[in-house]
Structure 1
């Protein structure tokens, strides 16, 4: 084989047939070029893939940001607008502002008329003619509050619906007088009986209902409500009127049944507690502020509860709590100091103490509603959340014991004798035993008869109910033997009446000073039923024996 040329070498491979193949030298540079071209293409492909991934990432982020913006904007928007799914009288209020709702209700009420006909005379009656007022603000408030207590998901779910179906106005406000005047008929609407708290705050009095005469506006009211609740979409039908006598929708018997229930609530007020400690109560004034009478057909509002014809409104109890109870809470504790009688009545407050009370945020939001339910169910308390530093109230108990057999008046404080005074009792009392003698004309009473004395306490003791620093006393009494007993004494000092029949503890009615030792030495009863003490004791006793102090008289 020839030596290969250094510049142009060729190789022959044997055993490959008759025509050997000649392969030219392959340059490695070509492989290098191919490899470079392959690397560039792969890099391009990877870069394109990365860009595509980044593009999708940006798209997802943009969608998430958009969703967050929409959700945040929706949350912010619905703080001041009606929530999704809220309707008023069946009409959607979703997204409407309070002002818009108020305006729409007011506009509908302002333009509302009901055509009426009476004996050939036709008129159009407005809500003003009926004498009713629309509280658009209150209705709008109910709409704005609808669903607010639901879970977050339910609150903003448009398919979770809640219809606000409040009464647009109070039927009892409707008066026939103006409408009757428009038609030339003297009319007076029927009035339902009502309950008023008595002056003592211990029970309710019933004011009887009155029949109405003339035009009956009941059907006009129904048509007006239909139009108002349709926001003017429904046309009022003509109401044909007659001159009639109408009865109240609540009878006096129903009102008396309601009174019995309301009086029972006063007797058993609902306590307000923090933990186990009572901090206040819903008493007579709170009950009076929250009750009304209404027929069974009357639609109840939110937080209203019916007990027969008696309706108690939790929202009004809440308002009373906010205005008259919570406003009196104090964060700092002050220990009180009071003087009470033997049955616990406060006679004098030396220091007006109070608990230290702090209510947690939102801890009393539903106390009015809870109290209404408690009254209706006969429960005795409701709870609010917070802390209470209970006061340590100092109580001084004062009472008086009059002993007719030992001829003494004993002033007792916290179970301890403060002073013992000698006294002269009624001439009719046996001086040794203290018992009223058979004639019984001039006796100091030894018991409290509930049929005679309206200030009796459960244990039978009297209470001081009237005091005079000085009083002229006179009277005439026909005795059982037919004789007449007369008296006329001027300037009887330091008088403390304890029986409603005129018996009192006072300075003994003598013309000149007659002291404790003189009474002790006298050895007889001289009064017409009163209890006379010495001139040297009477003023002290008068100042010590406060109005309402219990007086126990015993033989």
Structure 2
């Protein structure tokens, strides 16, 4: 075998082989069985578009992604362009532009510059930016270059007033608050009215700042104008507080139920109270518990009382005819501990009526069953109480021709004095004339025209003398009149 690796012409064929090869080139020749050196590789295809297309595609993807979080081009809020910004960056831009916007106050001597930041100006920047993005997102070309949206500028009044007062003090006159004081002469609280002050018109400054911001201006001139400055404590609030205080003085005291058991002097209560300015123009009321304590220490003696027993006059059936002595419940003050502090708190709340903690002591009732008995056979009257004879004396009842009728009656009509008129009768009972007796005292009727009464025209008691009435000395009649109420039982018998 021939060592082909050592032949320099290894790429050709031998003569024998060449002479014996067919001449027809239509027959495919087999590929060479070997090569002395490698063949040159086929040229590679060039892909330049990949090197250009990849960055362009990345940029396109980035722009598409950015359009999802950016506000559309040409968008502005008030005078601040926010297109191409995120809502957060737009909010920052709004805040910064408003803070930097400068108002130049003219006409107050030298011109004075003051910024939105110094005035305490603000807008709801984030809400405005979010709204702008929601309405005009960058990914939506139809929303590009929209009309500017409005922004309402707010100014913190206290901050603005402080800044303006520092900038132009010559334009400020301080207001005077209303005041409340106790007047001993009238024993009432009186009001000193409030007086308006003067200062730079904050509303005008806010309007100028809003307009400048809306128009995209960072500096605007404004002629300094003044406006009234309301006092912190206005007159109407002071008057309302004084009304409360005076009502307190009218009702001040320590009460048991509806009874003002211990009234309090108006000037004393006023000395316990202090009136000071409160929050937002109001007035605060406070009371000194230590000053109240001496009055509280004396409450026990003023409040405690023993019960008063009741006395009633009744008839035999138990019906109350009169109450000579009305009963009264007694009471004792439970304790004075803590009352001074509690009353001080109550006064501070505008209530001067203090209900005392007391224990009631009930009263007893004594009923007196009163009655009048007349024994015609004895010509004597007996006055009784609960069946016992209280007193007795001689009387003069009706004569035989005008008798006093027996029976059980009750006292009816009573009068202190009157003229009595009637008929005179003979022994047979026939009318033989009339009579008229003036100034008859203490009559009490029990049976028609028959009555108990005083007699001044005779002194023959113990004998029948009258036209049917029961007569007695005037002083006796007066006592009986006062002793026996209407409805008192009467028993006339022989």
Provide the TM-score with structure 2 as the length reference: 0.30
- Larger C-alpha radius of gyration, 1 or 2? 2
Provide the TM-score with structure 1 as the length reference: 0.27
